[in-house]
Amino acid sequence: MTSVNVEMVKCACPDCVCVVSLEGAVKREEKAFCCDACADGHPEKDGCDHAGCTCHG
């Protein structure tokens, strides 16, 4: 069996298209997010402001 080390994952926000490193991710409830806005569920409808991403929760 081959083992794989995952270093990058898609942000756990369903509307977000960002990919984030596990090391640099904002972690909440064992999920990895690209920023606090995504991790908090966009309570103020603010986006993550990353180029090419239009998420707002």
> For position 25, what pLDDT does the model report?
97
Please, which residues have CB within 8 angstroms of residue 16's CB and are 6 or more apart in sequence?
10, 33, 34, 38, 48, 53, 55
Structure tokens at 33: 């997010």
Alpha carbon 17 to chain centroid distance? 8
pTM score, whole prediction: 0.86
> For position 56, what pLDDT does the model report?
84
> For position 4, what pLDDT does the model report?
86
**CB distance 18 to 50 below 8 Å:** yes
Class of the CATH domain delimited by 1-50 = mainly beta
- Could you read off the pLDDT of 2-22 as tens digits, one per residue? 888 889 999 999 999 999 999
